[in-house]
Amino acid sequence: MKKFLALALALMMLALPLVSCGKKEDIPEGPYNFSETETDYVRLRVVQQINVNKTEYVGEIVVKLEPEIAPVTVANFKKLVGEGFYNGLIFHRVINNFMIQGGDPKGTGMGGSDENIKGEFASNGVENNLSHKRGVISMARNGYDMDSASSQFFIVHQDSTYLDGDYAAFGAVVYGIETVDKVAKVSTNANDKPYKNVIIESAKFVTPAQ
């Protein structure tokens, strides 16, 4: 009987889902509403892994995309958001006072989506006047290949205008910059990867509340 009870308890523990502390997924943070259709606003809901069974709510980041500035980049990002590509991925590279980087399905900085896109920046022959200032979102890429961006992106923590002309900026944070601050300050290892995973729990289209 004791063995049976122990086995039943073990099976119950295995069946327990991850517990998330914080707001419910269906309640957006701030003056934005979820949208069933594609928009120029994307909300990232960020949590941090505390242990194997628990995550802790960090905050929301809403970015406004700029298709007039970087149409190819924005179209690619929207496609991935619509597919749910970013849901569950981590910020694998975090450097305080520089940027936070995510969007790699491998979580190592070596992965991406199935399709690379043209780099929309000056050194690649494309005009892009969006400067890499605090809160701007831009595409990460292989330093040797201007057209190697696919899914990895970074959000600038502090002004990094020396990146202008070499990376495709395509939007900016309009809500939740304090969440970027929180992520930028987490403890990381020698490879700039957080010791405790910082997770994009979901990426969804939203609209400003009327």
Q: Are strands 153-156 and 19-21 parallel, antiparallel or unpaired?
A: unpaired
Distance CA 11, CA 143 (A): 48
18 neighbors 143 (Cβ within 8 angstroms): no
Name which of 14-23, 43-52, 121-130, 134-143 the model is least confident about. Answer: 14-23
Mean pLDDT of 22-45: 77
pTM: 0.86
pLDDT at residue 63 is higher than 80: yes
Angle, CA 64 vertex, CA 61 and CA 162 arms, to 5°: 90
pLDDT in tens, 145-162: 999 999 999 999 999 999
Q: Supply the DSSP symbol for 17.
A: P
Residue 47: CA count within 13 A, CB half-sphere? 22
Kindly report the average pLDDT of the chain as a whole number: 90
137 neighbors 130 (Cβ within 8 angstroms): no
Mean pLDDT of 157-186: 98
Q: Are strands 169-175 and 136-139 parallel, antiparallel or unpaired?
A: antiparallel
- 6 falls in which pLDDT band (50, 70, 90)? very low
pLDDT at residue 47 is higher than 50: yes
* Residue 209 pLDDT: 82
Mean pLDDT of 90-97: 99
Mean pLDDT of 71-80: 99
Q: Is 198 helix (H, G, I), strand (E, B) or coil?
A: strand
Distant-in-sequence, close-in-space partners of 202: CB < 8 Å, separation ≥ 6: 25, 43, 44, 45, 86, 87
- 2 falls in which pLDDT band (50, 70, 90)? very low
As a residue count, the chain comes to 210
- What's the Cα-to-Cα distance from 204 to each of 2, 78, 136, 147, 165, rounded to whole Å? 47, 9, 18, 26, 29
* Residue 10 pLDDT: 42
For the chain, domains (ranges, CATH) are 2-208 (2.40.100.10)
| Helix and strand counts by DSSP (H, E) for the chain | 3, 10
* Residue 146 pLDDT: 97
* Residue 210 pLDDT: 64
